[in-house]
């Protein structure tokens, strides 16, 4: 694949920027900057990556971890009040309190939260998540199911009954 055109880049931004920001927010307080930098790096590629979305997640993950280290150094010298990011947007009649859901997601271990966000919001496959996180696809799958179970328990959402139908 050759260099990416503005239309294709714009479509990728429209389709994936929000989920990438959510993904970056796990590590750093400046997800917009990290995601913007990832798209700048993508635009600068002479040849588009084979799996563009997975490539973006890798660049965002690396950028987020770097930003988090910089933020940690800054925080070491500054006292700052922590503001919880909004992970869920409330919708009419779903019965889910966005703030409670956000706290439940943040309470998960990072391994579970990272896989859940990459899978649910990013739409990545378990194989892509495995490459992204440096684990096996089966480990990513286990983290995903453990995270879903923990969220259901914390949010008191019953598991779907798979014995029916």
pLDDT in tens, 49-66: 999 999 999 999 999 999
Buried/exposed 125-148: b ≥16 CB within 10 Å, e otherwise: bbebbbbbbebeeebbbbbbebbb
The whole-chain average pLDDT of the chain stands at 83
What are the structural domains, with CATH classification, of the chain? 1-85 (1.10.1740), 94-165 (1.10.10.10)
Whether 82 shows a pLDDT value over 60: the answer reads: no
CA-CA distance, 85 to 103, in Å (whole number)? 9
| E strand intervals along the chain | none
For residue 89, what pLDDT band results from cuts at 50, 70 and 90? low
In 91-136, alpha helices (H): 98-107, 110-116, 126-133
This prediction's pTM: 0.61
For residue 141, what pLDDT band results from cuts at 50, 70 and 90? very high
């Amino acid at each position: 694949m050759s260099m990416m055109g503005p239309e294709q880049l714009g479509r990728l931004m429209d389709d994936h920027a929000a989920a990438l920001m959510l993904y970056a927010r796990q590590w750093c307080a400046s997800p917009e900057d990290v995601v913007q930098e990832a798209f700048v790096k993508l635009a600068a590629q002479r040849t588009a990556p084979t799996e563009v979305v997975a490539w973006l997640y890798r660049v965002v993950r690396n950028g987020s971890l770097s930003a988090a280290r910089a933020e940690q150094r800054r925080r070491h010298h500054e006292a700052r009040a922590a503001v919880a990011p909004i992970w869920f947007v409330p919708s009419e009649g779903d019965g889910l309190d966005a703030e409670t859901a956000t706290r439940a997601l943040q309470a998960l271990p990072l391994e579970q939260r990272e896989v859940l966000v990459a899978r649910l919001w990013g739409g990545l496959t378990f194989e892509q998540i495995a490459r992204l996180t440096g684990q096996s696809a089966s480990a990513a799958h286990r983290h995903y199911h453990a995270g879903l179970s923990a969220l259901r328990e914390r949010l008191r959402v019953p598991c779907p009954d798979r014995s029916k139908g």
